[in-house]
């Protein structure tokens, strides 16, 4: 799996599991659905880190529920700590895209080291989770330069508690991965969230 996608997924997983529910008023939504999922690289085709393909199904994606995904990507440079990740989250409000501020590590936030977030999600010394382990894909820094591919695989998405402000609507997320003095890759994701 492409490192930028993995880093974004790791950040989302870590921050959702470590947020203090009292400070953010977390809520468990019933029948959460994610639809209209789309993605694109933000930069030109010769950027050091690129996602080449990503497919997810079904549409909408039910949470909790099953997800099928496949991805491929490449990096022309080794990715090692510190590997910064700048996330910008926007929500459409009355036809205008509004930037969501960083609240307790959620929203439009700067993460100084995505490698550290990966280590929090999957402690060093543990095998990478499936299906990464089966396909020999890494889940810790450093990530060597090269091509990476995740064949079509099935995942189970468990119920998650989300902050109260993550309500129904359209969202755009941009993640920029970098090392000191150099930005390496940029990925934009668009999706809609709906819950009962």
The pLDDT value recorded for residue 20 is 39
Question: How confident is the model at residue 36, as a pLDDT?
Answer: 96
Torsional sign, CA 181, 188, 147, 1: positive
pLDDT at 25: 64
Does domain 3-194 fall under CATH 2.70.220.10? My reply is yes
Provide the pLDDT for residue 44. 75
Predicted local confidence at residue 159, as pLDDT: 85
11 - beta bridge partners? Answer: none
What whole-number distance in Å separates Cα of residue 79 and Cα of residue 116? 13
Distance CA 83, CA 180 (A): 8
What does pTM read for this prediction?
Answer: 0.82
Domain ranges of the chain: 3-194
Contact 139, 130 (CB under 8 A): no
d(CA 71, CA 5): 9
Q: Rounded distance, CA 142 to CA 157, Å?
A: 27
**pLDDT for the residue 105:** 84
Structure tokens at 50: 């690129």
Q: Where are the beta strands (DSSP E) in the chain?
A: 26-28, 32-41, 49-57, 61-63, 65-75, 84-93, 96-99, 110-111, 146-157, 161-163, 169-179, 182-194
Three-state SS at 188: strand
Q: 152: exposed, middle or buried (C-beta count within 10 Å: 0-12, 13-18, 19+)?
A: exposed
Per-residue pLDDT of the chain (196 residues; tens, 9 = 90+): 344 444 444 444 433 333 334 444 676 667 789 999 999 999 778 889 999 999 999 999 999 999 999 999 999 999 999 999 999 999 999 999 999 999 878 899 999 999 999 999 899 989 998 889 999 999 999 999 999 999 999 999 888 777 777 778 999 999 999 988 889 999 999 999 998 7
Strand partners, 134: none
């Amino acid at each position: 799996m492409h490192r930028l996608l993995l880093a974004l997924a790791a950040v989302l997983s870590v921050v959702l599991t470590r947020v203090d529910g009292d400070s953010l008023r977390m809520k468990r939504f019933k029948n959460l659905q994610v639809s209209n999922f789309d993605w694109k690289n933000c930069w030109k085709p010769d950027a050091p880190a690129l996602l080449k393909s990503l497919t997810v199904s079904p549409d909408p994606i039910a949470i909790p529920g099953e997800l099928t995904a496949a991805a491929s990507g490449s990096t022309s440079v080794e990715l090692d700590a510190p590997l910064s990740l700048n996330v910008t989250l926007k929500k459409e409000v009355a036809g205008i895209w509004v930037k969501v501020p960083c609240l307790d590590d959620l929203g439009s936030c700067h993460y100084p080291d995505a490698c550290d977030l990966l280590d929090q999600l999957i402690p060093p010394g543990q095998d990478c989770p499936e299906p990464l382990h089966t396909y020999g894909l890494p889940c810790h820094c450093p990530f060597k330069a090269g091509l990476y591919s995740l064949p079509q695989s099935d995942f189970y998405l468990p119920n998650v508690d989300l902050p109260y402000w993550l309500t129904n609507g359209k969202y755009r997320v941009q993640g920029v991965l970098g090392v000191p003095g150099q930005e390496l890759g940029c990925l934009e994701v668009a999706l809609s969230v709906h819950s009962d």
